[in-house]
Copies of this chain bind each other. A is one copy, B any other.
Amino acid sequence: MSKLGDDATTATRTLRTMWQIRRFEEAVDDLFARGLMHGTMHLSIGQEASATGTCFALRDDDAITSTHRGHGHCIAKGADLERMMAELLAKETGYCRGRGGSMHIADVATGNLGANGIVAGGIPIAAGAGLAYQLQGLDRVVVSFFGDGAANEGAFHEAVNLAAIWKLPVIFLCENNKYGMSFSTEKSFAIENIADRAVGYGIPGVTVDGNDVEAVNEVVAAAVERARNGEGPTLVESVTYRWKGHSKSDKNLYRTKEEISEWRDRDPIIRFERSVVERGVLDQAAIDAVRAQATEDIRTAVRAANAAPDARPDDLLEAVFAPATA
């Protein structure tokens, strides 16, 4: 299997996606800071390789379930940047018409079954989508993203077991960024690797460097192949780090500046750039162009989203139930 950085086209696409995620979230951070955005936000800056490497191992018709920290997953799965930004800006043109916000972006049509405000809420849903594909005789797979903290919810346990006993085509993708809000994995687990939990369900568990987009991609691709072949689920632990606070109100009291700066030095985007330059796949000029392009992609999205009409409160009651069609 070839790696994401082996050819210029794929490397460009990979890099552009990672920069789009980074720039999207920088824009969000900025809009919040300037009081132009409402609600709450959870940024995945520093974790771009995990989202990108994973989604790039999927087909378009495969599905994901995502989390409160889900912008990266959405973008990597192919979401429209303008509709995403419009949602965050509470616009009628947003993915959820302004009803959901950052924590509920979904695009069921393109296989994004939804971010989730509930920690671990998406994990059983992913198992269920996998069950649907199995029953439908399709060879689609589902990736369920969730955090280290989510692995201590009952929902994780029940869903992984269902997938294991029914050999569902699901990849449980645990993004271990060392903290569930303020609580470190050293405190919340008595084991080294969350992937070891796989033993209890009789499925493979793999720990991968989540800041290495190519490594993530390879590990997930293998798990996807297993799942597509009817061999059942895999638990993948992608070890990474979030640079920013948990959400806007975080004072980072639970971790050191040194730790943050160590991880900033392991920037997954720069790392991939270095690697493809070293391997001669892209040159610096190409890389600069990709970054500029991503920056421009986001600017365009913000501009268009800003110009869109605000979400309308007039039909709230009618929007609760889906209308009968048949």
Binding site for B on A (CB under 8 A): 152-158, 161, 164-165, 187-191, 196-203, 232
Contact = CB atoms under 8 A, between A and B. Distances in A.
Contacts of A191: 199-202
User: Which 6 pairs between the two chains have the least Cβ-Cβ distance?
Assistant: A154-B154, A190-B202, A157-B157, A197-B200, A164-B190, A200-B200
Given A200-B200, A202-B190, A203-B190, A161 B152 contact: yes
Given A152-B157, A153-B154, A161-B188, 19 more contacts: A153-B158, A154-B154, A154-B157, A156-B157, A157-B157, A161-B189, A161-B190, A165-B187, A165-B188, A190-B201, A190-B202, A190-B203, A190-B232, A191-B199, A191-B202, A196-B199, A198-B200, A199-B200, A200-B200
Q: Identify the interface centre among A158, A161, A200: most chain B CB within 10 Å of its CB.
A: A200
11 contacts: A154-B155, A154-B158, A156-B157, A161-B190, A189-B202, A190-B203, A191-B200, A191-B202, A196-B200, A197-B199, A197-B200
A207 to B, nearest CB: 14
Contacts of A155: 154
A164 to B, nearest CB: 4
Contacts of A197: 199-200
A158 B151 CA distance: 9
B153 A165 contact: no
A201 B199 CA distance: 11
Contacts of A153: 154, 158
Copies in the complex: 2
A159 to B, nearest CB: 9
Nearest to A199: B199
Contacts of A198: 200
A162 B199 CA distance: 19
A153 B159 CA distance: 10
A199 B158 CA distance: 17
Contacts of A152: 157-158, 161
Contacts of A188: 161, 165
Nearest to A195: B200
A152 B156 CA distance: 11
A220 to B, nearest CB: 21
Nearest to A157: B157
A1 to B, nearest CB: 27
Nearest to A120: B154
A174 to B, nearest CB: 12
A199 B199 CA distance: 7
Contact of A165 (B156, B161, B190, B196): B190
A192 to B, nearest CB: 8
A52 to B, nearest CB: 28
A310 B35 CA distance: 68
Nearest to A164: B190
